[in-house]
Amino acid sequence: MIDLHTHSLFSDGVLLPSELVRRAVIKGYEMIAITDHADASNLDFIIPRIATACAELNRRWHIKALPGIELTHIPPETFADLTVRARSLGAAIVVAHGETIVEPVHPGTNRAAIEAGVDILAHPGLITRQEAELAARNDVHLEITSRKGHSLSNGHVAKLAGAVGAKLIIDTDTHEPGDLITDDLARNVLLGAGLDHEVIAAIFQNSKELALKAFATMKK
């Protein structure tokens, strides 16, 4: 399992980064990104601390932990600037909190995040065909999620991504230990979104390629 969207107690997750990564090791994860919620207020506080913890854990445990961030409920016009700032602070993975149908995310967030070139547009809700096409061109990954609520639009996201050739990945958006999943459950979530085995293999490969690329950018 490779999971590039999780939360620690640096935002609204319940686990310290070390415990989150420890539990991921036990669950059989190969790689995990810790992507706490951030806006302009806390980006500089969170990222260097998570990066320090991840570097420490990577030296000692058989897992690759990646420092990231999830830009969340920010004004769409600030995405470009905050994405650049997040990367310069050491975020190996930049996730955008997309227009999930279960939260009042500002309209225009999906497009702004894709134009900013984030790595992952999380739970993009009722993303439009034009936005999905732009994601394909900008190499922004669209997320299929195992998280309750956000997962209600998985079928729509899967269908559009397939139609326009946008890359999909699967994440858990973990906040608590019970949210981490096995790769068997990940496969079932993807089958439930209407995807076939060939596409599912490609999705696991997308996660791996993105994670390895991100890992290569990390300060060791």
Interface positions with Zn ion (CB under 5 A): 12, 70, 173
Q: Are 24 and 3 in contact (CB under 8 A)?
A: yes
Q: Considering beta carbons, is residue 162 or 177 the nearer one to Zn ion?
A: 177
Q: Distance (Å, rounded) from C-alpha 134 to C-alpha 115?
A: 8
Task: Tell me which residue of 45, 52, 88 sits closest to 67, measured CA to CA.
Answer: 52
Whether 43 and 83 have beta carbons less than 8 Å apart is answered as no
DSSP conformational letter for 106: P
Q: Which is nearer to Zn ion, 12 or 81 (CB)?
A: 12
Which one, 2 or 201, has the nearer CB to Zn ion? 2
If the CB atoms of residues 56 and 103 are measured against Zn ion, the closer one turns out to be 103
CB of 157 to Zn ion, least distance (A): 15
Minimum separation from the CB atom of position 163 to Zn ion (A) = 26
- Work out how close the CB of 197 gets to Zn ion at its nearest, in angstroms, rounded to a whole number: 27
**Which amino acid does the sequence have at 8?**
S
Q: Give the gyration radius of the chain's Cα atoms.
A: 16
Residue bearing tokens 């209407």: 194
Cα distance between residue 117 and residue 106, in whole Å: 18
Q: Which is nearer to Zn ion, 129 or 148 (CB)?
A: 148
CA dist 18 and 154 (Å) reads 30
